[in-house]
């Protein structure tokens, strides 16, 4: 219940409206000054209205005492201090979780994206203050700097993971990434529709050139061509994983490198061991290489590091070698191009996608189809051509038989 007292100050006549909140809380008061020229009847009518509105605000908690306001401000400041910045959340929550779930190579990629592109732009902002407009500005600035589309999409994916986790854990009331589209190509950016691979004729030329190279590299490059394995999987290959009886190798580990962790051995990217059949001529190269190693010193690895036979070849050595090989013979090669070549030639020439995906180490053949759509289209075209030719041949044959029957009559 409110009480009203008429008072006088230098500003003029005013009414003090006071509302009691019980014994445990102080009374709340407000002043209402009388406008000049108002009649007493108008004053009383308006005063009742003002008093009723003030009482409602007091009961709803909209009006508090000065002491209570200071306490509320203090609590708000405390909550504000507990809200992490984007950098703090990334370093203390997001990346520690990724370190447990991601392979070292992927974790390093996430960290570089955060350090180089995200933290410099929004890292010091409170995570609750980041808006979709802030993120769009970040992504557009990357494209304006000339970053390729794949890098911008990677940044978008990292941001989606970070803010998605924060939203699920109730750190932020809404996810700003829900209103941010994935980056699209710049007007001046040329996007390659197909992965880079070699033709059969180019592979034959490469194999001819390899005959002039050291045995180690003959075996290494032929394995890349014949199996479609990743560079690190061949580098980490051990003799114990080579089955000379059945002409097969087992992919059980992966030689990786990141700037933060250096060189290290990890599981295959798919986290699954897989066995791949290898041609007899490549197995002969491996047998010859094994004999050559017996003379120089045994190693558990098929391709050991120079000067340290107990460790695999350094992760970046094959890439450097292929760069030199490319200049020497006038070709353009890198390890992943040979992996793409294996898939493209296989699918184009009738190999089923599921088997190609298994040998490549893709956990889902849909990934293989997305990457090698051009090759799959070629194989489908070839299949259609076979059907057309068969129908054409059968039609022609039937016509001949029909013509023969008429002439006999």
Cα–Cα distance for residue pair 126/175, rounded to 1 Å: 14
pLDDT value of position 248 = 94
Neighbours of 226 (CB within 10 A): 19
- What's the Cα-to-Cα distance from 283 to each of 114, 244, 247, 287, 378, rounded to whole Å? 44, 7, 6, 6, 30
3-state secondary structure of 238: strand
Neighbours of 123 (CB within 10 A): 16
Neighbours of 214 (CB within 10 A): 12
Q: Going from the N-terminus, what domains does the chain have, and what CATH number goes with each?
A: 2-80 (no CATH), 86-179 (1.10.150.130), 200-371 (1.10.443.10)
pLDDT tens track, the chain, 409 positions: 689 999 988 888 899 999 988 877 888 999 999 888 899 999 999 999 999 999 999 888 888 888 888 887 787 777 666 899 999 999 999 999 988 888 788 888 999 999 999 999 999 999 999 999 999 999 999 999 989 898 999 999 999 999 999 999 999 999 999 999 999 887 766 555 556 888 889 999 999 999 999 999 999 999 999 998 999 999 999 999 999 999 999 999 988 877 777 788 888 877 788 899 999 999 999 999 999 998 887 899 999 998 888 999 988 899 999 999 999 999 999 988 998 888 888 887 878 788 888 888 887 777 676 666 655 555 556 655 656 666 666 666 665 555 555 444 3
What pLDDT, in 10s, does the model give residues 76-121? Answer: 777 666 899 999 999 999 999 988 888 788 888 999 999 999 999 9
Helices 335-348 and 200-210, packing angle to 10 deg? 130
Residue 394: both structure tokens together: 């059968």
Cα–Cα distance for residue pair 2/55, rounded to 1 Å: 6
**Among candidate residues 255, 200, 199, 194, the one with its CA nearest the CA of residue 230:** 255
Q: For the CA atoms of the chain, what is the radius of gyration?
A: 37
3-state secondary structure of 43: helix
Cα–Cα distance for residue pair 216/210, rounded to 1 Å: 10
What pLDDT, in 10s, does the model give residues 288-327? Answer: 999 999 888 789 999 999 888 899 998 889 999 999 999 9
Ordered alpha helix ranges (H), 83-213: 86-89, 95-101, 104-113, 119-122, 132-144, 149-168, 200-210
Ordered alpha helix ranges (H), 270-372: 280-296, 317-329, 335-348, 353-360, 365-371
For 15, phi then psi, to 5°, come to -115, 130
């Amino acid at each position: 219940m409110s009480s009203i007292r008429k008072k006088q100050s230098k500003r003029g006549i005013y009414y003090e409206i006071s509302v009691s909140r019980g014994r445990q809380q102080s009374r709340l008061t407000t002043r209402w000054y009388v406008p000049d020229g108002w009649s007493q009847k108008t004053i009383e009518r308006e005063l009742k209205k003002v008093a009723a509105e003030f009482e409602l605000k007091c009961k709803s908690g909209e009006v508090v005492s000065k002491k209570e306001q200071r306490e509320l401000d203090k609590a708000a400041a405390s909550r504000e201090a507990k809200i992490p910045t984007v950098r703090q959340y990334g370093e203390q929550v997001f990346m520690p979780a990724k370190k447990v779930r991601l392979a070292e190579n992927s974790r390093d990629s996430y960290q570089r994206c955060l350090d180089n592109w995200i933290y410099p732009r929004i890292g010091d902002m409170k995570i609750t203050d980041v808006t979709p407009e802030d993120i769009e500005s970040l992504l557009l600035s990357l494209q304006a700097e000339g970053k390729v589309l794949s890098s911008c999409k990677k940044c978008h994916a990292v941001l989606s993971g970070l803010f998605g986790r924060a939203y699920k854990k109730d750190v932020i009331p809404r996810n700003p990434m829900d209103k941010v589209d994935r980056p699209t190509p710049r007007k001046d950016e040329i996007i390659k529709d197909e992965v880079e691979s070699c033709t059969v004729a180019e592979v034959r030329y490469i194999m001819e050139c390899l005959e002039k190279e050291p045995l180690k590299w003959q075996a290494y490059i032929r394995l890349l061509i014949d199996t479609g394995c990743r560079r690190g999987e061949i580098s980490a290959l051990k003799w114990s994983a080579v089955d000379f009886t059945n002409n097969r190798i087992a992919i059980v580990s992966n030689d990786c490198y990141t700037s933060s962790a250096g060189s290290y051995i990890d599981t295959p990217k798919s986290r699954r061991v897989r066995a791949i059949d290898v041609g007899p001529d490549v197995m002969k190269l491996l047998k010859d290489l094994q004999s050559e190693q017996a003379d120089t010193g045994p190693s558990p690895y098929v391709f050991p590091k120079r000067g340290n036979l107990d460790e695999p070849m350094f992760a970046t050595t094959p890439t450097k070698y292929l760069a030199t090989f490319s200049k020497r013979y006038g070709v353009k090669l890198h390890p992943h191009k040979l992996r793409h070549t294996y898939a493209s030639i296989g699918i184009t020439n009738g190999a089923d996608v599921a088997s190609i995906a298994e040998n490549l180490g893709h956990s889902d053949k849909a990934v293989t189809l997305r990457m090698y759509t051009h090759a799959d289209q070629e194989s489908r075209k070839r299949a259609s051509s076979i059907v057309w030719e068969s129908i054409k041949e059968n039609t022609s044959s039937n016509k001949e038989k029909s013509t023969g029957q008429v002439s006999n009559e």
